[in-house]
A and B are shown apart, each in its own frame.
Chain A
Amino acid sequence: MTTSAMVEEAFGKLDTGAEVVIDFSPVRRLASGDLRELRKLANAAEEKSVKVGLCGVDVSVYRVLKLAKLDGLVL
């Protein structure tokens, strides 16, 4: 499953109102588009007051999220 597919799937769960956790352990590299999607997901979750989190984040991926100021998503 690609990263964007994982994020897409998470979008679908936002309406359930429950906390959404994405298992990021298979993710080894992020593209610019992935960051865009993640940012959109974070914004949408905030609007719906739903908590979204990433678990199993690889160190180099974490570094990218940190630089992109998306590290708040990491559980």
Chain B
Amino acid sequence: MPQNIAPPSETRMAYLESLVSQASAAAAVFTQYTQEDVDRIVKQMVLAGLAQAQHLARLAVDETRLGVMEDKTIKNMVATEFVYNYVKDKRTVGIIREFPESGLVEMAEPIGVIFSLTPITNPTSTVLFKCIMAIKTRNAVVFSPHPNAWRCCAEAVRIMYEAAVKHGAPEGVFTCVEEPTLSDNAWLMHHKDVRLVDATGGRGASRAAYSSGKPALGVGSGNTPVYLEKTADLDMAVVDIITSKTFDNGTICASEQTVVIDDEIYDVALRKFAELGVHICSAAETEILGRTVIDPVKGQMQPMAVGQKVTDIARMIGLRVPPHTRLLIAPIGGVGREYPLSVEKLFPVLAVCRAHSVDEALRLCIDVNHAGGLGHTAVIFSRNDEIVKRFGEAMNAGRIIVNSPGAIGALGGVYNDLVPTFSFGCGTGGGNSTMDNVNVYHYLNIKRVARRTPAHMWFRVPNQIYFDMNAVEVLRGFPSSSTLIVTNPALEQMGHVNIVRRSIPPQTTVHVLAIPDAEPEIKVVMHGVETLKAYAVDQIVALGGGSVIDAAKIMKLKYEFPQADLDELAAPFLDIRKRVVEFPTEKTNHARLIAISTTSGTGSEVTPFAVFTDKVRGRKVTLADYSLSPDVAIVDPQFVMSMPKGLTADTGIDCLTHALEAAVSVYASPYTDSNAMQAIRLVFKYLPIAYENPRDEEARSMMHNAACIAALAFSNASVGVNHALAHAFGARFGVAHGRANALMLPHVIAYNAAVPTKFRPSPNQRAYTAHKKYAMISDLLGLGGKTVEEKVRNLVAATERLLDQLQAPRSIADLGISREEFERAMPELAKIAFDDPSWQSNPRMPMVDELIELFWSAYEGRGVARKEAEIEVCV
């Protein structure tokens, strides 16, 4: 209870408690009702309300002394018939909406007991409206009408209640406070069983509702500006404004308050108003009217004027007007305290204001809107769509009514398709929680049942992959007028470029760009782009290892899309399907990219990735998008026959790491698995042979295929924590990528096979399967073992044996890095590894401490063999 309001007496409290108690029981019982139950009851209530529309209107006018009986009858009919028309087919029980494509289902949950304040201006219509909404949504309501309108409201509640209960609604579903007081309202608003306060009325009621600490629907007063623009249908506008402003003596808070009229039509508009029985006040009459009907201290309308007849208001200022005068129009010079009539006037007095330009008119309307009407209603009469749009943007109003009467237009359903209501939300501008026309959905809690929706999977690879010895000869089939071969100086010297050149059709002009054999720098890439432009190239042949092919991918990107911002395109992302940055699609130039790999590791000839170095900023930038994938890949082993042993080992281990990580990735699929498993099998079989006997054509060929096949897998399933560790370690200590991978590999297999400390959130991971995948690989390799645990151990041991065969360094310590140096580097290493996006597809989400532990295991090396017995495989 607010401190400034005395609590009700004990007797009164018991009375109020009984109202809430009945409503609570009814609300509980109501939860069992079906949609058919409530729809049947609602229809009968609507019929009862329609039958009593005039009776209730008469009671309201008699009790409140406000408004017009005939108009209140129409309001009561709108509150029943029009509201029914809106709600009758709406689902408000059980499942109310389904979105099969997104796996979402919305279900209705009733609120329970609603405490509802209703206004003096629209007393019975508001009650009828809220009763229908409550039954439709299976809620119970305790009504507290305005103290000067409680009898007519109690009668409206009785009529609705009897109709509802007669047709099956729970007893006690509506109760109404008799002779309500502020104290009653404050007590009820704070009652523990009241779930929602729905306050329709003045600003005070709305504020009290929001101050109660309960969820509230508080909707309040307005001050509707009207712009009568020079292109308007003037005859229609004048009739609409009179209809609206005189409806129920102007008591609807959405009714017109100040009409801003373009100078060009100002005089003719006033003449048309006068012709239809409107009295245009003189300056003196306007001045005295302002002093009389507006409280000079508060700057608000005087209650005595609200809802009164125009003749009575005229009499208040000693003005004699003909008995059938419809409205008083008071010309004012602007908006603000010096123009008292520019505020809300819920009686048949309308201010008008002349504007000399559209801008001035809009400014004046904004002033009216801000003088107590924020969030409520604004009206425009115009045939100029551009001005209507500007008006809509300028007004802060939940209802912007075009070429229709404000009051009846805002009610909805009569002049437009707005939701029929007797409660206008005014948004935050009006201090309200909603800007909507309050409707059944505000009387519901909407539950959302969200089914698991795994990300759509894909398997995307280049259109054409040619493999086996002399596959390069397929180049003859690719017509081109200007081809640029991007390569490195060593390959040029070895004669590889000439082999390629011979396979290109003779009519093609061939150019060669040799770039350094290192991760490409941006200046190298941009030089390449200039070369492409200079030769108007339509085909790029990238001949080299990962660095050369990556450089060619970025050259093509910048050539085809000069506007591409590499920094922006390199922005990090968690899920490629939801990434913020999109790669461009509108090409300026066109060039086919054919990638011929000369190493058997990166698989860059088929991957959608490209890495470059930004030396100016001292960083490595990774681009990822399927548009980067080469158009054609040529996997021709003749280009790897002379690879040195060290490079064979490093690239081969890189290939194995790609395949192993893709196999256990959270994005692994049957498509990637088939490629990953085959690549693993090929590596275990042929890498030792290619290493020992570099001229073995079959081994070289199979390893070359394995690298490409593994790349097909990780292009779609991505890699994992091994790569995150290797990237960080390799960059910090200048160790080749494949070698860095080798140092981590056995430890990462053991790590991924163990019970995860933390699972990575991924809708595609239906179960933790990394250990089982490793066991499958172990079986594929024929490593033996009966249990999953044994098989994983055998795979780790086999990997270690393979690394030994390749004479790969088996510990970081073996590289000559001291323990102290490694320890000093560790915080930064762990940070960089954790920031690396590679682990995001790892089945086990690495904690930073675990990354540190993995680094130390790799430092010690051979630890896995020693700890074999300790691997706690996830079972």
Give A residues with C-beta under 8 Å from B: 29-33, 35-36, 60-61, 63-65, 67-68
A-B contact pairs, 25 of them (CB 8 A): A29-B32, A30-B28, A30-B29, A31-B170, A32-B22, A32-B25, A32-B26, A32-B29, A32-B170, A32-B171, A32-B172, A33-B171, A35-B29, A36-B25, A60-B31, A61-B32, A64-B28, A64-B29, A64-B32, A65-B28, A67-B24, A67-B27, A67-B31, A68-B25, A68-B29
Nearest B residue to A66 by beta-carbon distance? B28
B112 within 8 A of A: yes
Chain A hits for B28, CB < 8 A = 30, 35, 64-65, 67-68
Chain B hits for A63, CB < 8 A = 31
Q: Bound complex: CA of A68 vs CA of B29, how far in Å?
A: 8
Q: Shortest beta-carbon distance, A31 to chain B, in Å?
A: 6
Q: Bound complex: CA of A35 vs CA of B27, how far in Å?
A: 11
Binary CB contact string for chain B from 28 to 47 against chain A (1 if under 8 A, 0 otherwise) = 11011000000000000000
Chain B hits for A67, CB < 8 A = 24, 27-28, 31, 112
Q: Shortest beta-carbon distance, B104 to chain A, in Å?
A: 23
Top 8 nearest A-B pairs (CB, nearest first) are: A67-B28, A32-B171, A68-B28, A35-B25, A32-B170, A64-B28, A32-B25, A29-B32
Q: Bound complex: CA of A60 vs CA of B172, how far in Å?
A: 20
Q: Bound complex: CA of A36 vs CA of B170, how far in Å?
A: 12
Q: Bound complex: CA of A63 vs CA of B31, how far in Å?
A: 8
Q: Shortest beta-carbon distance, A38 to chain B, in Å?
A: 10
Q: Bound complex: CA of A36 vs CA of B22, how far in Å?
A: 9
Chain A hits for B171, CB < 8 A = 31-33
Q: Bound complex: CA of A35 vs CA of B29, how far in Å?
A: 8
User: How many pairs of A and B residues are in contact by the CB < 8 Å rule?
Assistant: 37
Chain B hits for A64, CB < 8 A = 28-29, 31-32
Nearest B residue to A35 by beta-carbon distance? B25
Chain B hits for A31, CB < 8 A = 29, 170-171
Nearest A residue to B24 by beta-carbon distance? A68
- Seed contacts A32-B170, A36-B25; 17 additional CB < 8 Å A-B pairs: A30-B29, A31-B29, A32-B22, A32-B25, A32-B29, A35-B28, A35-B29, A60-B31, A61-B32, A63-B31, A64-B32, A65-B28, A67-B24, A67-B31, A68-B24, A68-B25, A68-B28
Q: Bound complex: CA of A24 vs CA of B26, how far in Å?
A: 20
Q: Bound complex: CA of A63 vs CA of B109, how far in Å?
A: 12
Nearest A residue to B112 by beta-carbon distance? A67
Chain A hits for B22, CB < 8 A = 32
Q: Bound complex: CA of A63 vs CA of B28, how far in Å?
A: 8
Q: Bound complex: CA of A52 vs CA of B25, how far in Å?
A: 20
Chain A hits for B24, CB < 8 A = 67-68
Chain B hits for A32, CB < 8 A = 22, 25-26, 29, 170-172
Q: From A30, A32, A33, A61, name the one whose CB has the most chain B CB atoms within 10 angstroms.
A: A32
Q: Bound complex: CA of A3 vs CA of B337, how far in Å?
A: 66
Nearest A residue to B28 by beta-carbon distance? A67
Chain B hits for A35, CB < 8 A = 25, 28-29
- Which residues B698-718 have CB closer than 8 A to chain A? none
Q: Bound complex: CA of A70 vs CA of B766, how far in Å?
A: 41
- Which residues B1-36 have CB closer than 8 A to chain A? 22, 24-29, 31-32
Q: Bound complex: CA of A55 vs CA of B171, how far in Å?
A: 26
Nearest A residue to B165 by beta-carbon distance? A32
Q: Bound complex: CA of A30 vs CA of B170, how far in Å?
A: 10
Q: Bound complex: CA of A17 vs CA of B787, how far in Å?
A: 63
Q: Shortest beta-carbon distance, B166 to chain A, in Å?
A: 14
Q: Bound complex: CA of A33 vs CA of B170, how far in Å?
A: 9
Q: Shortest beta-carbon distance, A54 to chain B, in Å?
A: 15
Q: Bound complex: CA of A31 vs CA of B22, how far in Å?
A: 12
Chain A hits for B29, CB < 8 A = 30-32, 35, 64, 68
Q: Bound complex: CA of A47 vs CA of B25, how far in Å?
A: 22
Nearest B residue to A31 by beta-carbon distance? B29
Q: Bound complex: CA of A70 vs CA of B154, how far in Å?
A: 31
Q: Shortest beta-carbon distance, B754 to chain A, in Å?
A: 42
Q: Bound complex: CA of A65 vs CA of B32, how far in Å?
A: 11
Nearest B residue to A36 by beta-carbon distance? B25
Nearest A residue to B171 by beta-carbon distance? A32
Chain A hits for B172, CB < 8 A = 32
Q: Shortest beta-carbon distance, B26 to chain A, in Å?
A: 6
Nearest B residue to A68 by beta-carbon distance? B28
Q: Shortest beta-carbon distance, B108 to chain A, in Å?
A: 14
Chain A hits for B27, CB < 8 A = 67
Q: Shortest beta-carbon distance, A12 to chain B, in Å?
A: 24
Nearest A residue to B170 by beta-carbon distance? A32
Q: Bound complex: CA of A21 vs CA of B410, how far in Å?
A: 57
Q: Bound complex: CA of A55 vs CA of B810, how far in Å?
A: 69
